[in-house]
Amino acid sequence: QQQVKQSPQSLIVQKGGISIINCAYENTAFDYFPWYQQFPGKGPALLIAIRPDVSEKKEGRFTISFNKSAKQFSLHIMDSQPGDSATYFCAASKGSQGNLIFGKGTKLSVKP
Amino acid sequence: NAGVMQNPRHLVRRRGQEARLRCSPMKGHSHVYWYRQLPEEGLKFMVYLQKENIIDESGMPKERFSAEFPKEGPSILRIQQVVRGDSAAYFCASSPLAGVTDTQYFGPGTRLTVL
């Protein structure tokens, strides 16, 4: 049973474009939704995170949109750059437990 | 402030041998999590530890795998009698004291190859 479903599996975007990655979750007890960025051979790095009491959070070029009723959240990368080329993972957790449930990842390639 | 450290970065073992993976959390962090990542897959939770305590091991295989986080020293993930299916990247994450347990910072991982 996959508790966090992520799409698309891969994404190609032109430099300057908007990259959009979507995630859907099943467990309504989840209360923390982070996005991680991972470069080849490296560990995941926290990019941005949101809690369900807000519908949107923006940090620089990165925005999370959250739809509690639909149990969906998405990452938007504005003005995408070649340096953004990486694999992005959404995740979810229940605050009382702490362990993260990850999506399968989206490999983003930004073409110059 | 150094990040989460893991060693070794690469580990090669033959089937039947033991693998020991070490994780030193960030300074001031007392919560450690271990995750496993198979090729082209997301990370799967294995175990959550605090100093000298296993809090949640629901993601860890019942046999051959064990983890500890002693009062002094790094956290250790131990895999006995390794099999080819254990080949994966193993990541450790740490988070601060209780109350902020959801912000996890990951180490660079240990890539285990079983021949």
- For residue B8, whether the previous peptide bond is cis, meaning omega lies within 30 degrees of 0, is yes
User: Among B33, B104, B110, which would you mutate to test the A interface (most chain A Cβ atoms within 10 Å of its Cβ)?
Assistant: B104
CB-CB neighbors (< 8 A) of B105 in chain A: 46
Strand-pairing partners, residue A50, are A33
Q: Exposed (0-12), middle (13-18) or buried (19+): which is A46, by Cβ within 10 Å?
A: middle
B34 touches A: beta carbon within 8 Å: no
Q: What is the per-residue pLDDT across B4-47, written as a single tens digit (0 to 9) for each?
A: 999 999 999 999 999 999 999 998 888 999 999 988 778 999 99
**Chain-chain contact of A46 with B41 (C-beta, under 8 angstroms):** no
Nearest CA in chain B to A39: B108
Cα separation, B65 vs B77, in Å, equals 7
Q: What is the per-residue pLDDT across A85-108, written as a single tens digit (0 to 9) for each?
A: 999 999 998 865 678 899 999 999
**Chain-chain contact of B109 with A99 (C-beta, under 8 angstroms):** no
**Chain-chain contact of B106 with A105 (C-beta, under 8 angstroms):** no
Average pLDDT over residues A41-66: 93
CA neighbours within 13 Å on the CB side: how many for B14? Answer: 0
Residue A17: both structure tokens together: 């474009």
CB-CB neighbors (< 8 A) of A2 in chain B: none
Give the closest residue to A89 by CA, choosing from A72, A71, A70, A108. A108
Residue B109's Cα: distance from chain center in Å?
8
CA–CA min distance A17, chain B (Å): 25
**Chain-chain contact of A102 with B43 (C-beta, under 8 angstroms):** yes
Cα separation, A50 vs A54, in Å, equals 7
Q: What is the per-residue pLDDT across B43-102, written as a single tens digit (0 to 9) for each?
A: 999 999 998 899 999 999 999 999 999 989 999 999 999 999 999 999 999 988 655 556
Name the residue with higher pLDDT: B102 or A60: A60
pLDDT at B96: 81
Cα separation, B91 vs A60, in Å, equals 28
Q: Exposed (0-12), middle (13-18) or buried (19+): which is B88, by Cβ within 10 Å?
A: buried
- Count Cβ–Cβ pairs < 8 Å, chain A vs chain B: 63
Nearest CA in chain B to A43: B108
